[in-house]
Amino acid sequence: MAADPHKLFEQWFAEARAAEPNDAEAMALATADAAGRPSVRMVLLKGHDERGFAFYTNKASRKGGEIAANPRAALLFHWKSLRRQVRIEGSLAPTDDAEADAYFATRSRDARIGAWASDQSRLLESRALFEARYERLVGEFEGKDVPRPPYWRGYRVAPERIEFWTDRPHRLHERRLFTRAPGGGWTESLLYP
């Protein structure tokens, strides 16, 4: 048994980055609207530490609206090549502007312009319209820095539960559950598969 699920995640994540052929950072993000209707999609992990697991999106997107209405989420990493999963549940909070700016600056110029061009999750009349909008913005930003749009931000899931699942023969899988204790710290339990 380990006392710190973040250290165990760091170890598993490093192994996944070495073994997974595509996107070890890919995680399913499940949110729900104010009425409790669930929604799930794949996003990329862009940072993790003891505070939680960070990703970035347009706050006016469907997921951004769901986060504003119901700031709780579940994450799932599935590393098929390692036959492992990590499930995380917790509350959501925005990253600060400095952190969002710093991450946005690491994106390619084209991706930064794409963030300005996209009305994420809104109906799109045609692909040609989107591409023309993107090209117009390429011209507008020519020779200039591309700042983070005001509607583009990061969110962090502060974990309350982290489950590590390992495939075992005969469906006798191993499930290790870490639960945030009141006042901090973690308790660890085993779950039946």
Q: Are 34 and 77 in contact (CB under 8 A)?
A: no
Task: Name the nearest CA neighbour of 26 among 11, 12, 41, 14.
Answer: 41
**Tens of pLDDT, residues 137-152:** 999 999 999 999 999 9
Distance CA 17, CA 75 (A): 18
pLDDT of residue 1: 52
pTM greater than 0.85 (yes/no): yes
Distance CA 124, CA 130 (A): 8
Name the DSSP letter for residue 131: H
CA distances from 30 to 113, 119, 156 (A): 27, 21, 13
**Tens of pLDDT, residues 89-116:** 999 999 999 999 999 999 999 999 999 9
pLDDT of residue 88: 98
Mapped onto helix, strand or coil, the DSSP state of residue 24 is: coil
Burial class (CB in 10 A: 0-12, 13-18, 19+), 159: buried
What the block records as the tokens of 85 is 């999963």
| Measured distance between the N- and C-terminal CA atoms of the chain, rounded to whole angstroms | 17
Question: Residue ranges of the domains in the chain?
Answer: 5-104+155-191
Active site residues per annotation: 171
Q: Which whole number is the average pLDDT over 27-37?
A: 97
What percentage of the chain reaches a pLDDT higher than 90?
A: 93
Distance CA 39, CA 48 (A): 23
Q: Which whole number is the average pLDDT over 158-177?
A: 95
In which band, very low, low, confident or very high, does the pLDDT at 30 lie, cut at 50, 70 and 90? very high
5-104+155-191 maps to CATH 2.30.110.10:
yes
Distance CA 29, CA 49 (A): 18
| pLDDT surpasses 90 at 2 | no
| pLDDT surpasses 70 at 171 | yes
